[in-house]
Structure 1
Amino acid sequence: MKPWTQNYLMQFGYLEKSNIETGNLRTIDELEQAVRKLQTYGNLKPTGKVDAATLELMRRPRCGSPDFRDSLDFLANNDERLESGRRMRRYVKQGQKWHNPIVTWR
């Protein structure tokens, strides 16, 4: 697996961030699990291998926000997210409405 692939998986919450003790050392199982999570999230067949479709998914333009707050957040709610087939909401509606449609300024 190329280093940029592992960095992508860390940046978007599929892998835990590296630490001082282990650096970017990962087991093959950890990497395959992270790739499977990405593939599931991108509606691809979860093989755990970085194939052409997975590379295309990773190269698409996207925002810089992680798909998950951290990997543990994904693991805690994995079943619920996969069953619903929906992305996690990254915002909260305030519930307040602007009642004056006219904007003035000085």
Structure 2
Amino acid sequence: MAAQDLESTPHHRLLYIEDAAHGWLQVPRTLLGSLGIADGITSYSYQRDGMVYLEEDLDMTTFWNAYEAHYGIAPVFERYYVPRWPGRHYDTYKPAPGIP
């Protein structure tokens, strides 16, 4: 990818949250729709306030592959560790009907 192409590519700064047992990538729901994968995310992920927390085993890989295919670069994320993530009590992910 040429330098000028990279400069015009949108960059999304994401957050990877992990606790002692698992991890989730926090992604805006709208980004899943933009990548065309909203219907391909499983109920092992969580959702809250316009954000989706993609579980690390399957859904994060689905997102990662779609992101790289679309933007030509890997997503950038910060890592955040908590002993027990409270998001385990968020609603399980369901695609929003009619909304990407």
> What is the TM-score normalised by the length of structure 2?
0.29
Greater fraction of residues in helix? 1
Which has more radius of gyration? 1
Larger RCO (CA within 8 A; separation ≥ 6): 2
Greater fraction of residues in strand? 2
